[in-house]
Every structure is written in structure tokens, then in C-alpha cells.
Chains A and B, each alone.
Chain A
């Protein structure tokens, strides 16, 4: 397959130190099938003189600084009219030899692609950019993944709303259709504008996940802050006038969403992800906190999440009587639903639902639960309203087998578990069984990440009570360490097999995330997670019977949960340790299935289908 020629356009304005590093590192990469043009945008430092030594690049000298847009357009006009074009900032550094060939291949592989960008990393190793999106309410562009530690997130090629044009591969077909960058902008917003123009013309913007360049951001615009702020504000206003109506029209549905967002709970994490996915699919959500005074969780919610999109959704004007409101939380806050049409969306870890939840649920227009397990539980507890399954999901950008872990350097096989200490997770079963089954001489270890916030409970005492043997299987503990959610994939990838051997689950997000990361998994064969964990992709742990759910949680009273079989757990631990290739293959199959069937986008699509049905 012959790839089309690419003309690389490096725009430079002063800062020869950066331009030199850019060109020197660029030259060291595979530039076959490419021509390089350097557009010197009227530099007044040593740039014009120094460029004379770079005879392998064609130099175009502008008499003065024409700005980012006109400078690049001059390069586009000068490029071979049959070639694709790659716009490059002079503050880039090239450490990946095949970056250009990968971008060319990506451009060729997707016929509808018009623009292809790449991951950008800061010199200190943090991720800077994996695509962009703009929030219509504020016209404030956001860089996806920005300032996160780089563990390999967003390494799959995907469609995005925009990219920053520090590196932009633009196909000739697109240039032929819409021309160069819009000169309505001097700098800033021209890249998002161009991507939106491309979309309007029928072209996709892609982020090529297997190319990463280093970007010393704004290397050429540091210095006169007031001047650049002025340019930024002018460009933003021009952009707002041009695109506001069009961007706002991408919202085709509306929902009032009452839940929890800014606490470290499973509902809060999944609430954020559902709202993000709904936004991407054109749902304009307005959020309000469902808990607080007069509810079982009386605390007021912290105002800031540090997540720009969530703060916009939270700050939107509250409709007087929302046409549709979803309360996503425990059933005993359904009464707070303020919608004309009311949906209660909940889950529970046992085989039924408390009477007061059912009474509240019967006042809803319909009820959503993530699983068939919970649907049956609600119906058997007396629910009379329609009930639908709306699954939760996983973010396959952050949870996939390419995420970098930090494995045990001794090469021991590592079983991982992640749980809150308590009756439902039944940790003593796992600790005792593992410690009994293995000896300390064997190259295997169990790593338990434990959370305990109960002041009446001492984890040290609890573990001491188990009388684990020093000669038995080795166990390491991480107690009450809270990792940022985006880093959890790196934690799972530090182990080999994930274990969820508890008595009941409402969904089991850690299990799903570990599966998406490609770990082999052991999971109790009972409860909500059987919705997505089956023996083709997981090692189900047999259950002896169901037993009364006795725990501190009042919601469980009168219901049952599982009694996992210790002998079968012992068997599975040994089997996986001795059949690591088979376990790995199951883990790989699980990762594929999670990415194909169980993302937040799938969940949001099901919500939209129900919203449309409810609207009649």
C-alpha cells in the first residue's frame, strides 16, 4: 500500500532553542515520504541565520509575525498540492521514530478522516492532550486527559470533537474542500474551528492513540501575557459568534439529574461517568444533589469536583418543573424527584428491596436498575411500576490492557483484591483460604487494598484474629490509600488476577474495571455482576447456598446473599496459579468484551432510548 506524501510545516517565531530541538529531533525520525517546510514567522532572534544550516528543510521567511493562522496558511499554500499536510509547532520534541508513518497509515485507513491528531505529553511526562471538546454553555475548550500522569490512557485511535493544532495531520481532500485555517482568528480557536468545519463538510477528526509527541506548551507565546490574553479574548468572541448556535444544537435531549457527584462513593463516580457519556451523546443534563438534610446521607455536597464539564452541568439553571427527572441513588431518596415524569434509578447487593424503597419506587413513572438480578429483586419485593435494565459501564480509555502497571519486580504471581472491610465482602474467607492454600516459599502473593472508615473496627485486630500463618501464602496490605480514579487501571495492571469473592454486589465496578484491564478474574457466581461476568471471561466462584444477609447495613434486613464455597476458592487460586496462560487468555477475552459491550456510551445509549420512550 502506497501512502500519500506528507508536507510537514513547522511554524517558528523566535525561541531558536525550541526550534532547534524540534528540527533536530524531527530529523532523527523516519521522514520517508515527507518534505519539511519551516515557516519563519518574522523571527528577530538568531532563527533566520541558524536555519541556513538546515538545508534538508525548505525555509519560507515571512517579513513579520503574521500570527499562527496566516503563518500556517502560507505553508499550506507552498506545500506540494498533491500531498497531505502536517502542521507542527516549533515547541514539539520527537521521541517516537515512527510517529509520521503511523499518522499517515491512520489517515489512509479511515477514508472519512480529515484531521488526525496525536497524544501530547509535557516534558515532565504528564499527559497534556488526548483530544479536545468545547462546552457550549461557556465556549471554553477542554483538553482531554490534561495534566494526568501518563499511564497509557487514550492509546486507542478514536473520533474526537477537536484536537489542538500543535500537531495536525490534514488530508488533501479536506483542504481541497474547505481551504486553509480561518483567518477570522489570529491565534487560538482556529484549530477547533477547523475541526468543526471539517465535521460540517463530512470529515472526522481522529486522535491517533499510538502516537505521542512531547509539547513544551506555549513555548512561543510565553512572555507578553496581556497581549496574548487580548488575542485570546478576540478569538473567543469570534468563535462564539460563529459556532454558538451550531454547538448548542447538538443537544437533542434534556434531563434533570438528581444524584451525588462530589463524594468518594460508587454512586458519585458512576454519576459523573453517566453524565459525561450522556453529554457526548447529545443530552443536556442539569444536575442537583439528591442527598443532604432530611435524607439518610445528611452532609452537604462539596461544590467543586475539579472536573470542568461536571461543574458546568452542576451550574446550569434549574427548570421550575423539569419534564423528566432521574433520581440516581438509594431508593429512600426517590421522594426528592421533582420531575413531571419521574424515574428512580438504583441498585442493591441482596435479593430484595426494603419496603420503603418499594413504596417510593411505586410513585415513580418507571424504575431503572442495572441488572436482571435487581429487576427480579424489585419485582419479588412488590414493585408495581415498569422496571428496565440500564447497565453501568467502564471507561475503556482508562481501563484497558495497554495501561502501564507496576508489577512485582520479583516476578511473583500477584492476586489483587480491592474492598471495604465488612460482612458483605467477607475478606476473612479470601485471606484465610489464600494463606492456607499457598506456602511462603511459593512465588505468589495476595495484595489487598482495603478501605476501613469504621472507628469501631481495627483492621490490625481483625487480621490478627485470623491467625494467618507466617509459613503460609504471603499477603500484602494497602490500607485506606485513595488513588485517583483515573489511576486505578495502573493499580490493577500491577497484578495478575483480580478476586471478588464477596457475598453480594450491586454492580461491582472494581471487577469490571479489572476485567477491562485484561486481568484474569475470580468472582462469586451470584449477584448483580453475573450480568457481565460469565465463565467465558471469568472464573466463577461456586456458591454453596444463599444465607441471611446479616450486616450493619439496615437495607439488607430480611434478605439473602451468597455463601461462597471456600473449597472452590482454594481450587481456583491454585488452578489459576498453575495455569497462568489459560488465565491470561480469559483476561484478554474479558477486556475485549468489556470494550465492545460495556462502556459508559452503551449505558448512555440505553438511557436515551428510555428517555425517548417516556417522552412518547
Chain B
């Protein structure tokens, strides 16, 4: 019985450590997602989620597949980053071999 109690305590400690680790991971993940949600538009978030789930990104903004966020708020943007992201979304696999 003593042995069993000891084994059980060990198991509880192991599980508690695992839960703590998962909670830390979850907190980290939430922090990343919050910061992504602040910095990315809905369209980028959709693409990111799909890529992380192993799905190809939706063809972005082509006629008939409008997935971008409709907004009246102006957002400061950088041409290089915007165009690079746009072309990658339009043709996600173009040049993939070179990368």
C-alpha cells in the first residue's frame, strides 16, 4: 500500500507538472494570438490558421472569394511587406522550391 500511495503521489506530481506546462504553453499561445490579432487583418489570420492546420491558404481577394475584413479604419502599412504578403497569398506555392 505504501508503494501504491507513493506511485500515486508521483503520478499526481507528474500530471500536475504536465498541466502546469500546458497552462504555460497555452498562456504563451494566447499571448501570441492576441498580438497577431492586433497586428494582422482577418484575412491574414484566416490564412495563418489554415496553414497551421495543414490546409492551403484561401486564394486571397480574388473575385468571388472575398475573405478580407471590411473596415472603414485606415491602417498604416509598408509597401514591401504588403505586396510580398499579397503576392504570396495570390500564389502561395509560387517559388516555394527556391525558399
Contacts and interface: CB of A to CB of B under 8 A. Distances in A.
Contact of B63 (A447, A473, A490): A473
Interface stretch (A91-99, A452-460, A503-511): A452-460
Given A410-B91, A453-B74, A474 B79 contact: no
A24 interface: no
B35 interface: no
A424 interface: no
B81 to A, nearest CB: 9
Contacts of B69: 479
30 contacts: A406-B87, A408-B90, A409-B87, A409-B91, A409-B95, A431-B63, A452-B72, A459-B70, A463-B66, A464-B66, A468-B63, A469-B64, A470-B65, A472-B63, A476-B61, A476-B86, A477-B68, A479-B70, A480-B71, A480-B72, A480-B73, A480-B75, A481-B75, A482-B74, A482-B75, A483-B79, A483-B82, A484-B76, A490-B79, A491-B83
Given A491-B83, A494-B83, A470 B94 contact: no
Nearest to B95: A409
Given A151-B79, A470-B63, 19 more contacts: A408-B87, A408-B91, A431-B63, A453-B72, A458-B70, A460-B66, A460-B70, A461-B70, A468-B64, A469-B64, A475-B62, A477-B68, A478-B86, A479-B70, A480-B72, A482-B76, A484-B76, A490-B83, A494-B79
A292 interface: no
Contacts of A146: none
Contacts of A459: 70
Interface in A168-201: none
A245 B73 CA distance: 48
A457 B70 CA distance: 10
B78 A480 contact: no
A481 B62 contact: no
A356 B87 CA distance: 48
Contacts of A463: 66
Contacts of A468: 63-64
A608 interface: no
Contacts of B6: none
A193 B16 CA distance: 72
Pairs A-B, 10 closest by C-beta atoms:
A470-B64, A406-B83, A468-B63, A481-B77, A460-B70, A487-B79, A490-B79, A476-B61, A477-B61, A475-B63
B53 interface: no
A490 B70 CA distance: 25
A474 B70 contact: no
Contacts of A452: 72
A440 B64 CA distance: 11
A34 interface: no
A491 B78 CA distance: 10
B91 to A, nearest CB: 5
Most buried by A among B64, B79, B86: B79
A464 B74 CA distance: 22
B80 A490 contact: yes
A474 B59 CA distance: 11
Nearest to A264: B74
Given A406-B84, A406-B87, A410-B90, A480 B63 contact: no
A406 B72 contact: no
Nearest to A493: B79
B74 A445 contact: no
Contacts of A406: 79-80, 83-84, 87
A391 B85 CA distance: 37
A476 B60 contact: yes
Contacts of B80: 149, 406, 490
Contacts of B75: 480-482
Nearest to B69: A479
B72 A476 contact: no
Most buried by A among B63, B64, B84: B63
Contacts of B77: 478, 481-483
A435 interface: yes
Interface in B5-41: none
A452 B70 CA distance: 9
Nearest to A473: B63
Contacts of A479: 68-71
Contact of A409 (B61, B79, B94): B94
Contacts of A444: none
Contacts of A79: none
Contacts of A454: 72
A451 interface: yes
Nearest to A489: B79
A464 B82 CA distance: 24
